[in-house]
Amino acid sequence: MTEAELYSVYKGVYVPKLLHPPECLKYYEEFNFREDDILIAAYPKSGTTWMKEIVPLIQSEGDLTPVQTIPNWDRVPWLEENRASILNLEERPSPRIFATHFHYNMMPESFFKVKPKVLCVLRNPKDVFVSSFYYYGMASFLVNPGTVDEFMEKFINGKELIEKISDHCVFKNMKQNQMSNYSLVPAEFLDQNKSEFLRKGISGDWRNTLTTAQSDHFDSVYEEKMKDVKFPFLWA
């Protein structure tokens, strides 16, 4: 399917129509935050799934029950996606945990008034790119990524869109958890025969996909776009 068929534009950002129908975006815009809410904010494929495993376990003081019995999309729901409006989030006890891929300037009005806690997750952008490439290849609600070179041009141009706890959150253990590995999602939406949703969970895996030329091209565009950001990122 084409981008026009798969996506709509919300506040200047392409969003998948299947995940973000108008009535759900309206629910998101009118959502009322609490001061003790915890919002996991990250660019897609930056480690949000991992944080959705770790944060609830910290909250439950290591009790594995919530992460072994509740799918992570209900355990830590995406506020802007279609399930949020049917989960009775207003009735959940504090502190509530949510996730978002939306930008700061896309937050609901109550976010700026109440100022909930925010966990911002960052990852080496090359690894984000590679994870996104494989994800786009298996998700039916996203446009086909094409070749690595084709997808890179879209990506860099902005057109696409601790003891018990640490043991459970080791990537290989989390990968086996049906409540977290998205294996419960029908193959018509996420075809994990093409690529597992939780693939490797390592830094530097971009080296196994990008050529030297592709890496150099990515670096040149990244350095130009990030030249005004003074924070020192140490990517692997």
Residue 36, C-beta contacts closer than 8 angstroms, at least 6 positions apart: 94, 95, 96, 116, 117
- 77 upstream amide cis, omega within 30 of 0: no
Among 151, 148, 145, 131, residue whose Cα is nearest residue 201: 131
Bridge partners (DSSP) listed for residue 87: none
- d(CA 54, CA 47) in angstroms, rounded, equals 11
Given the residues 101, 103, 168, 217, the one annotated as active site: 101
Residue type, 140: S
40 within 8 A of 98, measured Cβ to Cβ: yes
User: Structure tokens of 108?
Assistant: 């609901």
User: Structure tokens of 230?
Assistant: 């003074």
- d(CA 124, CA 223) in angstroms, rounded, equals 13
Q: Does residue 217 have an active-site annotation?
A: no
Residue type, 144: N
| Sheet-wide strand order for 38-42 | 97-100, 38-42, 117-121
CB atoms within 10 A of CB 210: 20
Active site residues: 101
